[in-house]
Amino acid sequence: MPILSIRHVTRYRYRTPVALGEHRMMLRPRESYDQRILSCDLTITPTPERMRSVHDVFGNCVSIAGFTGRTEELIFDSRVRLDHTPLPAFADVEGEVEVYTGAMPFDYSPEDLPDLEQSMQRHYPDPEGLIDAWARRFVKPVGKTSLQTLLSDMTQAIYAEFKYNSRLARGIQDPLETLTLHSGTCRDYAILMMEAARSLGLAARFVSGYIYSPMVGAGLSRASAGHTHAWVRVYLPACGWVEFDPTNGIVGNADLVRVAIARDPRQAVPLHGSWSGQAADYLGMEVEVDVRDEGELDVQPMPFRAIGAEG
């Protein structure tokens, strides 16, 4: 993959000058063997009085800005250049990946299990076992099931059978609702697949980041292009953490740029903060994400689009 250029701009507008509280940002991609930051710049207007960065419990980079004074507009402009060199999922694994035998929980090693248990716990009720039953459709009724096949088929089933919808409201749709409606956002799909994987005893985590959508023709692009994106990673002992994007049917991390990893999406919000003023002062938020291969031809600067929430 060539060098990726990522620009993520968020603008808040207020009717009258308001006082700004602390704002926390998760905008810096996580560096690893498959993605390396070449440059990373963040411009905030108005300029914060104080700024610091910390690593959270998952090792995500969190920047924290504090402000003084009042303003009618708050802008975060993040620009990143990234060397992105993903490898195909399961490329270095001979034969089938671990097999699922129906045992609960999945047979993780005693050394790994204490660190994975929190990521194996279900977060949403499923009183009638509907998510359990849906997950079991990918398990062979007799014999062993390759986890590589099971998780790949689950990813492709959501991609093929569900309808992607952009939703302006904050928060996550209950996975039972996503399953019933057969529609949702990338966040909703990620949560449904996480709950399905966890119902089979697997450790799963939420990933927030960006997706690169190659210029493949007019009107053709990956879902979530132009926004922050979300997908899933599942722990398989022979492979480590493997990524699955049910929104776009991607197995592995091709075209996916990791920024934050967490057990729950509330732990991986790209940007949030507080302000003081009258409720009517808030005029809304505009956000745009532009991810491109630096070798692509220049196009017009990205416009701002109003949406309801980050991530």
pLDDT number for residue 222: 65
Give the lowest-confidence range in 82-96, 125-139, 200-214: 82-96
pLDDT number for residue 95: 64
* pLDDT one-digit tens code per residue, 19-31: 999 999 999 999 9
The pLDDT-based confidence of 224 (bands split at 50, 70, 90) is low
pLDDT number for residue 136: 95
H-assigned helices in the chain? 113-120, 130-136, 147-161, 175-181, 186-199
127 and 232 together in one domain:
yes
12 and 74 together in one domain:
yes
State percent of the chain over pLDDT 90: 76
Whole-prediction pTM:
0.90
Tell me if 89 is assigned to some domain: no
Mean pLDDT of the chain: 89
Tell me if 94 is assigned to some domain: no
Q: Does the structure show a pLDDT above 70 at 149?
A: yes
Tell me if 128 is assigned to some domain: yes
pLDDT number for residue 275: 97
CA distance 79 to 8: 7
Tell me if 290 is assigned to some domain: yes
Q: Enumerate the β-bridge partners of residue 116.
A: none
Q: Does the structure show a pLDDT above 80 at 261?
A: yes
The pLDDT-based confidence of 54 (bands split at 50, 70, 90) is very high
Q: Which residue has the tokens 């879902």?
A: 223
Tell me if 93 is assigned to some domain: no
Q: How far apart are the first and last CA of the chain?
A: 24
Full domain range(s) for residue 273: 3-84+269-306
276 and 189 together in one domain:
no
Residue among 225, 308, 231 nearest 8 (CA): 225
Q: Domain count of the chain?
A: 2
The CATH number covering residue 282 comes to 2.60.40.2250
Tell me if 206 is assigned to some domain: yes
pLDDT number for residue 169: 59
Q: Residue 222: exposed, middle, or buried by beta-carbon count in 10 A (0-12, 13-18, 19+)?
A: buried
Find the mean pLDDT for residues 237-241: 89
